[in-house]
Amino acid sequence: MAAQENIQLTEIMFGSVLSRAVSAVAEFGVADLIEPGSPRPVAELAAATGCHEHALYRCLRYLASHDIFVEDPQGAFGLTPLAAALRTDAEGSFRSGARMLGHMFPAVAELENTLRDGENGIVKFLGQPLFEYLPNHPELAAIFDGGMTTIHGSETPAMLQAFDFSGIATFADVGGGNGSLLTSVLLKYPAMKGILFDLGHVIERATANLQKAGLSDRYEVREGSFFDAFPEGADAYLMRHIIHDWDDQQSIQILKNCRAVIPPHGRLFIVEAVVPAGNATSPAKEFDMAMLIYPGGMERTEAEYRSLFAAAGFELVGVTPTASAASVVEGRRV
C-alpha cells in the first residue's frame, strides 16, 4: 500500500485550499487590521470584515499552521512575516497578487476541460479571453495590474543587476503596463529616453507613475496594440511577460510587427521565465501552467524562443539568467 505516497498526494491536493484561504483573507483585508506586535481577537476581526466569526477563526487557525498568522493562547491572531506581506502598506505587498489569483481561481477548475480541448480555462469562466474582458471591467483590471506588479516586481531590480542596457538611446517598453519597469530603467540610465506603449485603458494608470518619478521630460506615451503595429523611434524594444501570453502564431505576428520598425542596429529583449530541460521543479513550469489556464499562452524553452525569433526575422543572440525567475532573451535583426 502506497501509504507515504498517499499522504504526500493528500498534502498536494489540499494545496488548493491553502491558496484559496490566502486569497480570501487578502480580499477581506484581514492583515490590514492587525498591527505588528499587536494580536487581535478573532471577534474584532470578524466584526471589522463582516465575516462569520467561527468560520474566520477556523480559516486563520489553518493559515497559522502554515506560518501565515500566529494564534496566541487567548485565541487572538498576530502577524508572521508571511501575513505581514499581505498588508496593503507592506513594502512590495503581496495583497494584490493574492486578490488577483483569487478572482481568477475559478478558471483552475476548468483544467480538466482544458486538457480535453486545449481552450484556456479563463474563457470558460469569463466567457471571453482575459485581455478582452479586462478593458470592460476596470475594477478587476486594477486588481490585475497590481497583481502583476506584486508577482513580477522583484524581477526588475534583478534584471537591471544582471543585464547592462547602457548604450541604448531610446528604450521602448512594449506592453509596459503601469510603467514601473520603464521608470526603473530610466532612473538607472540618466541619458536614456523612453517610450511606453500600451492600450489606452492601461496607459492612464501608467502616466501618473512616470510623472511622480520626475521623468516627464524623458519619456513619451504612445497608445496602441502590438498586434497592429509597434511604435517607431526606439533602438531597443523590450517586452516583459508579453510573448508568453500568446500562442506561437500570435507571438510570431507580434515579433514581425517589431521587426517592421526596429532599426538594423536595434536590439530586442524578451523578459520571460525560460523553461529548463529535465524533471526538476522550476518557476517557469509553474508559470507555464498559469499560462495554460489563464491567457492560453505558454512559457518556452530556449530552443522554442530561437524558433520563434527565426520565424519573425530575428536571431537569438543570448539568454541571460537573473536572480529572479525571469531571464533576458536577446534578439537581433537578420
Question: What are the residue numbers of the active site?
Answer: 244
| The three three-digit cell numbers of residue 50, written as one number | 463582516
Q: Are 322 and 163 in contact (CB under 8 A)?
A: yes
Q: Are 96 and 150 in contact (CB under 8 A)?
A: yes
Query: Residue 313 region, left (φ>0) first, then alpha (ψ -120 to 50), else beta?
Result: left
Buried b (16+ CB within 10 A) or exposed e, 149-158: bbbbbebbeb
Residues 6+ apart with CB under 8 A from 44: 33
Q: Are 221 and 233 in contact (CB under 8 A)?
A: no
Q: Are strands 267-272 and 327-333 parallel, antiparallel or unpaired?
A: antiparallel
